[in-house]
Structure 1
Amino acid sequence: MLQPRKTKFRKYQKGRIGGIVSNTDILRFGQFGIKALEPARIQAKTIEAIRRVMTRKFKRTGIIWIRIFPDIAVSSKPAEVRMGKGKGSPDYWICRIKKGQILFEMDGINLSLAQQAARLASYKFPGKIKFVTLW
């Protein structure tokens, strides 16, 4: 799974996801892409699950670019632990997705196959997504 080698801080605050991203809202690498229509927090294991389902749909012929990276640690405390005693240890990694952000790009496949892969990816993604093309 994806996770950073080194971070500035060990634990992060939850934060809010607001605004619209301007530098990641157009396709830069491939002909087809998947764009987020609403803000969300996506886990590293979800990114990997989406990548795997798309790769299997392509039968390993096309190319996939992952335009997001989980760089924020989410901490959690074990079950049935009393209140207090500090914040829990880092449990998993997330990526904050803003509205209009390109998540994945695809190339080397035809249009119908890319649309089918985007539909399969939409089942795994926690928010609403949209299939976009370069044309």
Structure 2
Amino acid sequence: MKKFPNNTKFKRPHKIKIIKGNKGIFLSRFSVGVRLKASRYLSYEQLETARRVITRLVKPKELKNKKNLTILKSTQQKFSRQTRRPRAKQKKFLYIRSNLCLPLTKKPLQVRMGKGKGSIDKWVFAANKSRVIFEMTRQRFKLRKVHRLLSVSRVKMPTKLKIIYHRLHTRRETNFVSKYI
């Protein structure tokens, strides 16, 4: 995700009013998503921290015992010498549906009124209520794990969020408790 767009129509446009609408309220690619409960300006830092939390929980934890780790690495090297196969690319499991397209300006401290608009302070995404921000796939994980990952990322966001599911995919899951839906 980029911090700011490559080119814009205006240097410092007016603020976009966040109004109700139906744009982006349904899941587009994957089966589980996170939806906003209130309209909000979302900055790059907020979206990036939520993404980092999810990816950190997905990565496997390293062994604490170094002796076991060296044994494990040596066996991995042994097997890698035997089979020289190209490694398959991992498919993406997280999709961020936001576009930082609105610059917010700010004047420096102790500057009098007038003399034009201030310089760009940060780029934000004007997200309206019930907009889907993150989507996750269920191909790599079970539905409970996806629910846990998204609920941990909810803490990092500035507004309340709701986890939504695609109804076709939740019917197929056999070990999923109905209290999560």
The TM-score, its normalising length taken from structure 2, stands at 0.68
For residues 64 and 54 of structure 1, what CA distance do their matches in structure 2 show?
A: 9
Q: Which residue of 1 aligns with 2:117?
A: 87
Identical-residue share of aligned pairs (%): 29
* Match of residue 8 from structure 1: 9
Question: How far apart in 1 are the matches of 2:118 and 2:142?
Answer: 46
State which of 60, 73, 79 in structure 1 corresponds to 2:103.
73
**Alpha-carbon RMSD:** 1.8
Does the 8 A contact of 2:12 with 2:105 survive in 1? yes
1:20 deviates by 2.5
For the pair shown, the structure with the greater C-alpha radius of gyration is 2
Task: Judge conservation of contact 2:147–2:163 (CA < 8 Å) in 1.
Answer: yes
Determine whether 1:133 maps to 2:141.
no
How far apart in 2 are the matches of 1:5 and 1:15?
Answer: 19
Larger strand proportion of the pair: 1
Residue matched to 1:35: 35
Match of 2:53 in 1: 53
- Per the alignment, in what secondary structure is the counterpart of residue 124 of structure 1? coil
Which range moves more in the overlay, 66-75 or 6-15? Answer: 6-15
- Give CA deviations for 1:45-91 in whole Å, capped at 9, x if unaligned: 11111111111122288611011111001111112222222111111
CA distance in 2, matches of 1:2, 1:116: 27
How much has 1:43 moved relative to structure 2?
0.6
Tell me, in whole angstroms, the C-alpha distance in 2 between the residues paired with 1:4 and 1:134: 31
Deviation at 1:15, TM superposition (A): 3.2
Normalising by structure 1, we get a TM-score of 0.89
Task: Give the length in aligned residue pairs.
Answer: 134
Secondary structure of the structure 2 residue equivalent to 1:11? coil
**Gapped runs of 5+ residues in structure 1?**
none
Q: Which runs of 4+ in 1 moved over 6 A?
A: none
For residue 94 of structure 2, the aligned residue among 64, 70, 87 is: 64
